[in-house]
Every structure is written in structure tokens, then in C-alpha cells.
């Protein structure tokens, strides 16, 4: 249960449904409500496919690349720690958002469901790394099923946030979203350090 809870917290914080909803609202503010709903559904569905594929083939991918699980835990923990720093300082980086040029390109596109919504906003590098870490720890069938359930639960909450984006924007605004992001970032930093510590311990034990 502890590993499942940790996986849920990490993936939820990394995906950051509230933060994604605020960016989504900015990108789709000129669309009708029905168009926003379709865009949210398409983007979330595609992100689900991407993350599910990474989850299912993640372990085999690491094996083919001759990357040990402890090494990936250390690297993944370092990447998530960098992401946590961005969240604590309310900075936007390529780890969980679009770059300036990507933002400009997205604003001129009619359909933003694939880019930048599905990737990199939802299924970005941080989320992909987290999913691979989840797959590496899902050795038992019950844990494997639980991890898939967590993946769908986080993506369902993301879809809900996208559908409620106008209300969230009105309720929280930029300042409120940054406060929540900082709190999530602090939690993610601690979990990222734990990934690194576990990876180092496993390296010496193997």
C-alpha cells in the first residue's frame, strides 16, 4: 500500500492537473465550450495511450538498454528533484511545460490536443520517467494492477481539471495556482530524494 500511495502522489504532483488546467484554459480561451471539451478528451486520451505504453514496455526497455533499475531510480530521482525545484520556485521549464517557441506555435494552432496538451503538458518527460519508475517496482500482479489503476486515476483527475478549467482559473488565479504548485514541489522533492537513496542502497546491495 505504501508503494502504491507513493506512486500516486508522485504521478499526481508531476502531472499537476491544476497547473495543466490553467495552461489549457489559456490555450483554448477562444474556443467554444464544446470545442474545449473535445480538445480535453482527445488530449487526455492520447496522453493515456502514451503513458500506458511506457508503463507496459518500460521494464523491457530498460533491460534492452542495459540500464539497471537502481541506476534508473537514481537518474529518475535526480530528474524529478529538478522538476520539484522548478515547482517550488514557480518556474516553468521544458520538464513540465512548453518553451516560449512551443507556446507561440501552439497559439497559432486550431487543435492543441496533441501538442502541447498531450505532450509535453500531460505526458511530459517527468511523467514518463515516473511511469517507468512505477513499472520497475511493479513486480507482483496485484501491484501491477494497482499501478495501472493509479495511472488511470491521475489521468481521470487531469481530465476533470481540464473540463473545470474556467472555474479553477476563476477560483485560484495565478497566485493560488503557484501556492499549490510550491506545496506539491516540496512533497515531490522529498520523494525524489527517497528515489535516489533507494537507488544507491540497491546498487551497493546488488
How confident is the model over 94-147, as pLDDT tens digits?
A: 555 556 665 665 555 557 899 889 988 899 888 998 998 888 887 788 889 999
- Is residue 97 within 8 A of residue 121, CB to CB? The reply is yes
C-alpha grid cell for residue 9?
502522489
pLDDT band at residue 185 under the 50/70/90 scheme: confident
What DSSP character marks residue 147? H
**pLDDT value at residue 93:** 60
The DSSP annotation for 66-103 comes to: T--HHHHHHHHHHHHHHHHHHHHTT---TTTS--HHHH
Q: Which residue has the higher pLDDT, 42 or 192?
A: 42
C-alpha grid cell for residue 118?
498531450
Q: What is the pTM for the complete model shown?
A: 0.81
Per-residue pLDDT tens over the stretch 8-44 = 999 999 999 998 998 899 889 888 999 999 999 999 9
C-alpha grid cell for residue 8?
500516486
Residues in the chain: 206
Q: How many CA atoms lie within 13 A of 161 on its CB side?
A: 24
Helices in the chain by DSSP H: which ranges? 2-15, 17-27, 33-64, 69-88, 100-107, 125-137, 141-163, 165-205
What DSSP character marks residue 111? -
Fold annotation for 2-205: Growth Hormone; Chain: A; (1.20.1250)
Amino acid at each position: 500500500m505504501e508503494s502504491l500511495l507513493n506512486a500516486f502522489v508522485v504521478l499526481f504532483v508531476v502531472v499537476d492537473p491544476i497547473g495543466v488546467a490553467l495552461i489549457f484554459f489559456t490555450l483554448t480561451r477562444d474556443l467554444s465550450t464544446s470545442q474545449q471539451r473535445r480538445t480535453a478528451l482527445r488530449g487526455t486520451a492520447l496522453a493515456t495511450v502514451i503513458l500506458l505504453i511506457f508503463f507496459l514496455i518500460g521494464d523491457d526497455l530498460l533491460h534492452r538498454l542495459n540500464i539497471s533499475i537502481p541506476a534508473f531510480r537514481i537518474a529518475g530521482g535526480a530528474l524529478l528533484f529538478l522538476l520539484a525545484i522548478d515547482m517550488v520556485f514557480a518556474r516553468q521549464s521544458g520538464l513540465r511545460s512548453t518553451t516560449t517557441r512551443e507556446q507561440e506555435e501552439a497559439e497559432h494552432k486550431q487543435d492543441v490536443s496533441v501538442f502541447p496538451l498531450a505532450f509535453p503538458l500531460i505526458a511530459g518527460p517527468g511523467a514518463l520517467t515516473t511511469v517507468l519508475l512505477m513499472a520497475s517496482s511493479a513486480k507482483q500482479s496485484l501491484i501491477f494492477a494497482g499501478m495501472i489503476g493509479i495511472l488511470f486515476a491521475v489521468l481521470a483527475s487531469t481530465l476533470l481539471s481540464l473540463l473545470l478549467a474556467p472555474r479553477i482559473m476563476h477560483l485560484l488565479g495565478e497566485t493560488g495556482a503557484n501556492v499549490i504548485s510550491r506545496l506539491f514541489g516540496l512533497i515531490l522533492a522529498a520523494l525524489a530524494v527517497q528515489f535516489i537513496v533507494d537507488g544507491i542502497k540497491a546498487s551497493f546491495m546488488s
